[in-house]
């Protein structure tokens, strides 16, 4: 499942934090953010609905992450808010709560906090074809 996305647009990586880099302070971005180094601050996606944070095995984020799409394979010390999709690869380590709509976790991923499912809007049926199934016994 990990890395195999069907019918999903690939987000262009607009911002790179390299393996020898350390950023101190909050980062606000749009598009894609690829982190191989260290960020000591919050990572916040602009509200475009398509932004992606990708944290590699060598990367560390010490702060909160807020983005529609989050793919982690490194260390996060802080809460993760993935509005659409959170993917935790096998080397992901999160010390904080993970808020998600859809989550994928590989064997070996670690979350030291709560997994909190964000609610689907009320106008979206939970299971198509099951509405009213109990009303008609035939």
Does residue 129 belong to any structural domain of this protein? no
**Burial (Cβ within 10 Å: 0-12, 13-18, ≥19) of residue 20:** exposed
Q: Please give the mean pLDDT across all residues of the chain.
A: 85
- Is pTM beyond 0.85? Reply is no
Beta bridge partners of 115: 98
Let me know: does 111 contact 90? Beta carbons within 8 Å.
no
Does residue 126 belong to any structural domain of this protein? no
Token pair, residue 82, equals 């993935």
Per the structure, the complete domain to which residue 35 belongs is given by 13-111
More confident residue, 49 or 65: 65
Does residue 19 belong to any structural domain of this protein? yes
Does residue 61 belong to any structural domain of this protein? yes
pLDDT for residue 137 is more than 80:
no
Does residue 57 belong to any structural domain of this protein? yes
pLDDT confidence of 17, banded at 50, 70, 90?
very high
- E strands, 2-111, are 13-17, 22-24, 27-29, 32-35, 38-40, 43-45, 52-55, 60-62, 65-72, 75-77, 80-88, 93-95, 98-105, 110-111
Does residue 76 belong to any structural domain of this protein? yes
pLDDT for residue 18 is more than 50:
yes
Tens-place pLDDT, residues 54-85: 999 999 999 999 999 999 999 999 999 999 99
How many Cβ atoms from other residues are within 10 Å of residue 91's Cβ?
Answer: 17
Domain count, the chain: 1
Does residue 138 belong to any structural domain of this protein? no
pLDDT confidence of 122, banded at 50, 70, 90?
low
Does residue 137 belong to any structural domain of this protein? no
pLDDT for residue 95 is more than 80:
yes
């Amino acid at each position: 499942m990990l890395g195999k996305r069907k019918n999903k647009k690939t987000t262009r990586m607009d911002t790179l934090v390299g393996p020898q880099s350390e950023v101190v302070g909050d980062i606000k971005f749009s598009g894609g953010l690829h982190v191989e180094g260290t960020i000591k601050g919050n990572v916040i996606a602009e509200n475009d609905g398509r932004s992606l944070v990708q944290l590699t095995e060598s990367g560390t984020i010490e702060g909160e992450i807020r983005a529609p799409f989050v793919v982690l394979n490194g260390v996060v010390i802080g809460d993760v808010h993935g509005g659409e999709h959170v993917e935790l690869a096998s080397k992901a380590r999160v010390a904080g709560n993970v808020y998600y709509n859809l989550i994928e976790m590989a064997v070996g991923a670690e979350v030291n906090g709560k997994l909190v499912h964000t609610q689907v809007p009320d106008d979206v049926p939970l299971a198509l074809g099951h509405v009213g199934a109990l009303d008609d016994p035939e």
